[in-house]
């Protein structure tokens, strides 16, 4: 790292410590849809944008409290906050700060991607300290399809501030095959070429635990791709969405952990935060119970 401060710890090392301490690889996605909030909060949300932002902030903080014993990180989806304008961004900042206060890592699910000064500004917004205040998030999801100059500001934040990044490589949505599975002239799929670039970008950002702070998003809905991605990016932390509401199971992700118990994390969003919709008890209790169940199943499937 170019930053000489002794207190900077690489994101991959912080993540590994959390995984080992909690014996969990669960990341809970925070996707606060107003129409799905508990009734006690949904009523407040109809009073205006500021009230809606307060409601989703309260909801996400309640989920954070419920899942904190079982998850290593939360992944707030920026779009649901941005939809509420400046009030929503305030709520996003509140939720990120609260999650970090209770000891969870924060992965901002922003999927940003741009070039030059714009990429630099995105990096500053999510990953760089603001004066004496810590960065908004520990890591951010990124779109790598604009190439190296678009990712360099984020790699620099990894070096200077101990940040982490997760590049979209093979995503969990059905439409991913339209572009990501396209075959190149050498016979490889486009996503496999992107995987080789992600490996290259992360080689000099490997921490003390042997894992890079440059990770990759690979959909858990494609188990075969997980194994191929693991071989292509042996030092990358794989962020695996798709367990739960999208249909993947903990057993589907087992091959992602061959580089160690911290070499992959599994995200679950709707199945955890809206678990109360299929339960009779409090929404916080339902989320905590589902998080505990998933964390145990993922740990067992990982084989560590």
For the domain spanning 11-302, the CATH number is 3.20.20.70
In 119-179, at which residue ranges do the beta strands (DSSP E only) sit?
139-142, 164-170
Average pLDDT over residues 154-162: 97
DSSP letters for 28-78: EEE---GGGS-HHHHHHHTT-HHHHHHHHHHHHHHHHHHHTTT-SEEEEBH
Task: Evaluate if residue 293 carries a pLDDT over 90.
Answer: yes
What whole-number distance in Å separates Cα of residue 168 and Cα of residue 122?
16
Largest separation between any pair of C-alpha atoms in the chain: 57
| Contact by Cβ (8 Å): 226, 167 | no
Q: Domain ranges for the chain, please list them.
A: 11-302
- Rounded to the nearest integer, the mean pLDDT of the chain is 93
What whole-number distance in Å separates Cα of residue 198 and Cα of residue 200?
5
Task: Evaluate if residue 6 carries a pLDDT over 60.
Answer: no
Give the model confidence (pLDDT) of 49-64 as tens digits.
999 999 999 999 999 9
pTM: 0.94
* Catalytic (active-site) positions: 111
pLDDT at 8: 87
pLDDT at 5: 55
């Amino acid at each position: 790292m170019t930053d000489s401060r002794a207190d900077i710890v690489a994101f991959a090392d912080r993540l590994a410590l959390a995984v080992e301490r909690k014996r969990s690889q669960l990341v809970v996605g925070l996707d606060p849809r107003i129409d799905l909030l508990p009734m006690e909060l949904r009523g407040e949300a109809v009073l205006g944008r500021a009230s809606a932002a307060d409601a989703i902030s309260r909801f996400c903080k309640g989920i954070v409290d419920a899942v904190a014993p079982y998850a290593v990180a939360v992944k707030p989806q920026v779009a649901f906050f941005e939809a509420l304008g400046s009030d929503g961004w305030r709520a996003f900042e509140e939720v990120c700060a609260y999650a970090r206060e209770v000891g969870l890592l924060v992965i901002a699910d922003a999927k940003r991607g741009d070039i030059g000064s714009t990429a630099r500004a995105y990096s500053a917004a999510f990953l760089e300290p603001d004066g004496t205040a810590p960065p908004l998030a520990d890591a951010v999801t990124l779109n790598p399809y604009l190439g190296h100059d678009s990712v360099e500001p984020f790699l620099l934040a990894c070096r200077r501030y101990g940040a982490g990044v997760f590049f979209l490589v093979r995503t969990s949505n059905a439409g991913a095959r339209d572009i990501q599975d396209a075959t190149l002239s050498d016979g490889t799929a486009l996503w496999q070429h992107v995987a080789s670039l992600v490996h290259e970008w992360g080689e000099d950002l490997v921490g003390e635990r042997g894992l890079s702070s440059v990770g990759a998003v690979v959909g858990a809905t494609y188990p075969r791709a997980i194994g191929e991605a693991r071989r292509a990016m042996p030092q990358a932390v794989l962020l695996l969405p798709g367990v739960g509401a999208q249909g993947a199971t903990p057993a589907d992700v087992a091959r992602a952990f061959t580089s160690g118990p911290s070499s992959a994390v599994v995200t679950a969003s709707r199945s955890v935060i809206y678990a109360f919709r299929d339960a009779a008890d409090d929404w916080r209790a339902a989320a905590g119970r589902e998080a505990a169940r998933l964390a145990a199943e993922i740990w067992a499937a990982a084989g560590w």
